[in-house]
Structure formats: C-alpha cells, structure tokens
C-alpha cells in the first residue's frame, strides 16, 4: 500500500509523472492516526495550463478513434481495479479514514460505473431529421465537447472522480482532474495510474494536485475546458457556476444536501430504524445524500426513537482498519471542530441530546438531537457528519412541509406500508431523487443523479452523461438546388 503514497505523490501531465513547481507542499495525512502518507509539491497556474493544453492536443485524435477501440481502455481499467481491489481498499481506508465496509461500497460502485462507461463509448448516434425544404437532409451529430475539467470531493473521491472522468473520456473528450487536497491519491493520481496502465493515450487525462490559494480560479477560468464538472459544497458550486456562466461554459454541479428520511404511521418501524441509521451514519455522515433529518409520525415516535437511539449507541467508533468499526474519523480537525460546534449550538438553542457523542481528535461519535426549535437554521443546512436531528410531525401534510423547508433538494426517503402512498408523498418533495421504503444514499449507473434548488445543476449517469459531456451539431445537405428570394 505504501508504494501508492510514494509512487503516486506527483502531478500527471501530458502522460508524464513529475513534481509540481509550486513553492509549498500538500501534506497528505491519515485522518485517524495523523500519519504522514505523502508530500506533494503543488501544481502552479502554468502547470494547469500545460495540463489543459495537453488534453486539447490529444483530444482530436482520441475523438476520431474508433469507439470500439476506446471501449477497450475501459474494459482493461475495470480488470485492473478488480485485480487490485484489496490494495486499493487499504489506500481508501488510510487516506479517507473510511471503513473497509465503506471502501467495498465505493469500489462496488466504481466498477458499476466503469461498466457503464464501456457501453457509453458506443452510445453517441447521429440522427436524420425531416426538413420542410424539398431536397434538404438534416443530419444531427453527437460530438464531444472537447476538454472537460473535473473537480472532485474528499468523501467518495475515487467514485466521484471516475464518475465524470470515465464518461467524459468514453465520449471522446480530454480531461483535466483536480482532486480534493485531502484525498490527492485516491481522488487523483490513482485515477491517472489506472488509466495509464489501461493503455489510455498520454495527454488525454491529466491530474493537477493543487490548491486555490495557489491557482485561484485558473482551473475554471481557463479558456480550453468547455465543461466544468464540480462535486462539492453549494457555496463553492455557486462560485463555479458564476465563473462558468460569465465564460459561456457548461457547469455540471453536484452539490450538498439536507435530506430527510420520513417514517409514516404505517411503516415497518424496525426496518425504518435500520434504514435511518445507515442513511445518517454511513461514512461518518460525510455523504451529500445522508439523512440529516429523521422525521417520525408522532403516533409511533416513542417506539421509533427508543429503537433508533439503541441502535445508534451500538455503533462502534474507532480505528477504520478494525472490521468491527462502523464510525471512523471525519476527514480533518476542522470538520471535527465544526461538528462539535453544531451539537453545542443545538443544545444551546434548546435541543435535547438523546445521544451526545464526544470528539477525540478526528473521531466524532454519533449524536442524536431532538426538540430543536422549528425555526433553527441548523435544520436547514447541511451537516456533514454523524449528527441526526429527530423531528416529530402530525400527518403527511406537515411532513411534506417540513421536508421541503430547506434550500436543498438532493435526496430523501419515505417509509410506509402502502407503496402508492409513498410514491404520492415522494412526488410532493422538491428533490432530484426520492426513495420509497429504502435509505437516502443511492447511486446507480443509468439512473439520472442530481438535485434541485441549491443541490446542483444538471444530472449525471446514463443518458444524462451525453447531455453533460457532448454537444449537438446540425449539418444540413441540400440535394439539388435551393431557391433564394433574391
């Protein structure tokens, strides 16, 4: 495993591994024990430019490559991940502080999305559209946008990098990837290594490990990329969207959430408890789709709350390398401090802590809070960690109102004994995704993924990848002579 953190602690530009030329280093730490994993000299604005220039040079030939030949690269990338799954899991656990359960969950999805990328290489098709003009043939071609800039987050860095990188490449584009500073290997250079070993031509995929303190807006302002795919906070996403709009770039934004899981009066309570605990506490709650809010009909609230609290108290907190651990560390000390602040603020506002988790270094034990005043801002913001807000309601109408009372609209779930009641409930929620009798955390390769309101712009997955990473070009052919009015 350690070879990943030594061999891959570099920039990957124009098919070459090389150090950055910045004046300082990003230090990659294990969030559980503070071990220094890697030291990476950051990329400068010049190297961002070199990366985009390399992608643009390589892209034309790649776009002209037979899509069956492009497809072979993704088939090999999938085999590489399957062959190296155990060592990649160990790297995920070390760099992210995720458990092996979480690493397995992420790698399962990575393989599913690579399988979809294999098919996506053959998806673009041309169309012939009728014309009102005699003798005219209208051809519509699906073409690559050119070069795509991808900015990925720290929570599922391998998945959320590959989720944009692989489809963009499969559809004939070049890519420059900027991973999060806390996950430069898993979210960045590991992706480059997989595709290098899979035979992707040099220059098509470039990875720049850097920080906005060094490059400012250079990554998103650069004139070459036509699309910026960003996954992260709505605050940064708003800025990315503003810059892109000013330069007529397409922005694909997968942003934060404040999802709710709703338990109606006819729900299977034990099953709903299991779904709610997973939806809130998977990967320490560092998931955009996580259920910040757990809404329970007042008629079953006592039974649900007792069982929910009991299960939360049973979650083992500690070393993510321990197979029994469910709650590992959050990504850094700033996140840990912020989460402690959220709990203290909630209690100061009048909330009752049914479970009051302690914080030790980056280990934040689960908290369960109830009776938070309905006007509290904490109920409307994203809480990226293991803190659950329990809320009671009287009837569906009130539940719908509470769920929608947030700037976000990403995911959610409802539990009920009546499937159609659940579907009708879901239709009233202002989200891009909603699940009946399940958890809030789901992603599938061919189902449109994305949010409403402050949770983002656009969709990814399946056919939506064509909308994100290709453009339409109309070429008309006039058979015979056209008539002109003068």
* Residue indicated by tokens 């009051």: 356
Residue 483 pLDDT = 87
**Mean pLDDT, the chain, as a whole number?**
97
**376: pLDDT confidence band, cut at 50, 70 and 90?**
very high
Q: Please enumerate in sequence order all residues whose Cβ is within 8 A of that of 452, keeping only pairs 6 or more positions apart, or say none.
A: 409, 410, 430, 431, 432
How many Cβ atoms are within 10 Å of 122's Cβ, its own excluded? Answer: 12
Is a pLDDT exceeding 90 seen at residue 53? yes
Residue 425 pLDDT = 98
Number of Cα atoms under 13 Å in the Cβ half of residue 296: 25
**314: pLDDT confidence band, cut at 50, 70 and 90?**
very high
Q: Please enumerate in sequence order all residues whose Cβ is within 8 A of that of 267, keeping only pairs 6 or more positions apart, or say none.
A: 297, 300, 415, 416, 417
Residue 211 pLDDT = 96
User: Whole-angstrom Cα distance, residue 410 to residue 430?
Assistant: 8
Mean pLDDT for the stretch of residues 474-481: 97
58 alpha carbon, distance to own chain's centre: 27
Residue 1 pLDDT = 62
Give tens-digit pLDDT for 142-158. 999 999 999 999 999 99
Give tens-digit pLDDT for 74-123. 999 999 999 999 999 999 999 999 999 999 999 999 999 999 999 999 99
Residues tagged active-site = 254, 288
Domains assigned to the chain: 2-255+455-474 (3.40.605.10), 259-436 (3.40.309.10)
User: Whole-angstrom Cα distance, residue 278 to residue 107?
Assistant: 18
How many Cβ atoms are within 10 Å of 190's Cβ, its own excluded? Answer: 26
Residue 415 pLDDT = 98
**132: pLDDT confidence band, cut at 50, 70 and 90?**
very high
Tokens of 394: 């009287």
Tokens of 239: 């800025």
Mean pLDDT for the stretch of residues 374-386: 97
pTM metric for this prediction: 0.97
């Amino acid at each position: 495993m350690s070879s990943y953190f030594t061999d891959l602690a570099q920039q990957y530009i124009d098919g070459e591994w090389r150090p950055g030329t910045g004046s300082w280093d990003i230090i990659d730490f294990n969030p559980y024990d503070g071990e220094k994993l890697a030291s990476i000299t950051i990329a400068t604005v010049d190297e961002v430019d070199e990366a985009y220039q390399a992608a643009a040079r390589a892209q034309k030939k790649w776009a002209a490559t037979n899509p069956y030949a492009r497809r072979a690269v993704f088939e090999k990338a999938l085999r590489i991940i399957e062959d190296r799954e155990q060592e990649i899991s160990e790297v995920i656990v070390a760099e992210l502080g995720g458990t092996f359960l979480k690493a397995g969950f992420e790698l399962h999805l990575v393989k599913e999305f690579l399988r979809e990328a294999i098919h996506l290489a053959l998806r673009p098709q041309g169309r012939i559209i009728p014309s009102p003009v005699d003798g005219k043939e209208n051809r519509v071609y699906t073409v690559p946008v050119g070069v795509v800039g991808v900015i990925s987050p720290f929570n599922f860095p391998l998945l959320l990098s590959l989720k944009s990188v692989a489809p963009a490449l499969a559809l004939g584009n070049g890519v420059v990837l900027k991973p999060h500073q806390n996950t430069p290997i898993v979210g960045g250079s590991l992706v480059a290594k997989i595709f290098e070993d899979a035979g992707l031509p040099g220059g098509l995929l470039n990875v720049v490990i850097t920080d906005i303190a060094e490059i400012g807006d250079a990554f998103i302002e650069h004139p070459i990329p036509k699309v910026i795919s960003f996954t992260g906070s709505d605050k940064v996403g708003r800025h990315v969207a503003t810059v892109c709009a000013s330069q007529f770039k397409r922005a694909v934004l997968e942003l934060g959430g404040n999802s709710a899981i709703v338990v109606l009066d006819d729900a299977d309570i034990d099953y709903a408890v299991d779904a709610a605990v997973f939806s809130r506490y998977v990967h320490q709650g560092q998931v955009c789709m996580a259920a910040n809010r757990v809404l329970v009909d007042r008629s079953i609230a006592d039974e649900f709350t007792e069982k929910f609290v009991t299960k939360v108290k049973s979650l083992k907190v500690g070393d993510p390398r321990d197979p029994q651990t469910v709650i590992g560390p959050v990504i850094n000390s700033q996140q840990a401090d912020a989460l402690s602040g959220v709990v203290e603020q909630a209690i100061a506002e009048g909330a009752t802590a049914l479970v009051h988790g302690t914080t030790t270094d980056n280990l934040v034990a689960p908290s369960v809070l109830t009776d938070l005043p309905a006007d509290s801002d904490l109920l409307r913001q994203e809480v990226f960690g293991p803190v659950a807000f329990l809320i009671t309601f009287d009837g569906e109408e009130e539940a719908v109102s509470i769920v929608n009372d947030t700037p976000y609209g990403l995911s959610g779930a409802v539990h009920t004994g009546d499937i159609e009641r659940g579907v009708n409930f879901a239709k009233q929620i202002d989200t891009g995704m909603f699940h009946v009798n399940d958890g809030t955390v789901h992603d599938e390769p061919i189902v449109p993924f994305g949010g409403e309101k402050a949770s983002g712009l656009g969709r990814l997955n399946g056919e939506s990848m064509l909308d994100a990473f290709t453009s339409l070009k109309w070429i008309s052919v006039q058979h015979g002579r056209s008539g002109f009015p003068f």
